[in-house]
C-alpha cells in the first residue's frame, strides 16, 4: 500500500527581489514594493510531501524523526532568520519564493532517502503559495 505524508514546518527569512540584469526602473516595474532596497521578510510555511509503501512493522511511510531531523538540519538551520540575498544559493538567481521552493526541493531530493519526495509547497503569505515537484525547469 502506497501512502503520502505531508509535514509542515515554519521559518522566517527576508529578501529583496532585485535582478542585476535589469535597470533600476525595470526592477521597480517588475518587483514593485518587493524591490525595496532594505528588503522585507516573511514567515514561511513549508510543506514537504513524501510517499512510499507503508512499512508493515511501523505502519508509517517514513519515520517522522528522520524527516524532521533532516529538514531541521538541512533546511531550517540554513534559511531561518537569514537574508536570502546573502546566501550562496542566490548569488545569481533572484530569491523569489518560486526559486526558494526549487532550492529546497533540490536539497531534499539529494539528501533525504527514507521516502520518495513528491513535492514541496511554500506558503509566503496568506495569499501566495508555490509548489514544486521537480523537473528540468529548476534554476539549477
User: Is there a domain that residue 44 lies in?
Assistant: yes
- Domain extent, residue 57, equals 2-132
What pLDDT, on a 0 to 100 scale, did the predictor assign at position 138?
47
CA gap 124, 130 in Å, rounded: 8
pTM: predicted TM-score of the whole model, two decimal places: 0.92
The reply to whether 118 falls in a domain is yes
Distance CA 10, CA 30 (A): 28
| CATH number of the domain that residue 84 is part of | 3.30.479.10
Phi, psi angle pair for 124, to nearest 5°: -90, -45
Note whether residue 61 is domain-resident.
Answer: yes
pLDDT at 136 over 80: no
Of 43, 27, 26, 45, the closest CA to residue 35 belongs to 27
Q: Is residue 139 part of a domain?
A: no
User: What total of structural domains would you count in the chain?
Assistant: 1
Domain membership flag for residue 79: yes
Taking only the tens place, the pLDDT of each residue in 53-106 is 999 999 999 999 999 999 999 999 999 999 999 999 999 999 999 999 999 999
Amino acid at each position: 500500500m502506497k501512502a503520502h505524508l505531508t509535514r509542515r514546518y515554519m521559518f522566517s527569512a527576508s529578501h529583496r527581489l532585485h535582478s542585476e540584469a535589469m535597470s533600476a526602473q525595470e526592477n521597480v516595474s517588475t518587483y514593485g514594493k518587493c524591490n525595496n532596497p532594505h528588503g522585507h521578510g516573511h514567515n514561511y510555511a513549508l510543506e514537504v510531501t513524501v510517499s512510499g509503501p507503508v512499512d508493515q512493522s511501523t505502519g508509517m511511510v517514513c519515520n517522522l524523526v528522520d524527516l524532521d531531523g533532516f529538514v531541521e538540519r538541512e533546511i531550517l538551520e540554513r534559511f531561518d532568520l537569514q537574508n536570502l540575498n546573502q546566501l550562496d544559493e542566490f548569488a545569481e538567481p533572484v530569491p523569489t519564493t518560486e526559486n526558494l521552493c526549487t532550492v529546497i526541493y533540490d536539497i531534499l531530493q539529494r539528501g533525504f532517502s527514507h521516502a520518495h519526495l513528491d513535492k514541496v509547497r511554500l506558503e509566503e503569505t496568506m495569499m501566495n503559495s508555490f509548489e514544486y515537484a521537480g523537473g528540468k525547469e529548476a534554476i539549477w
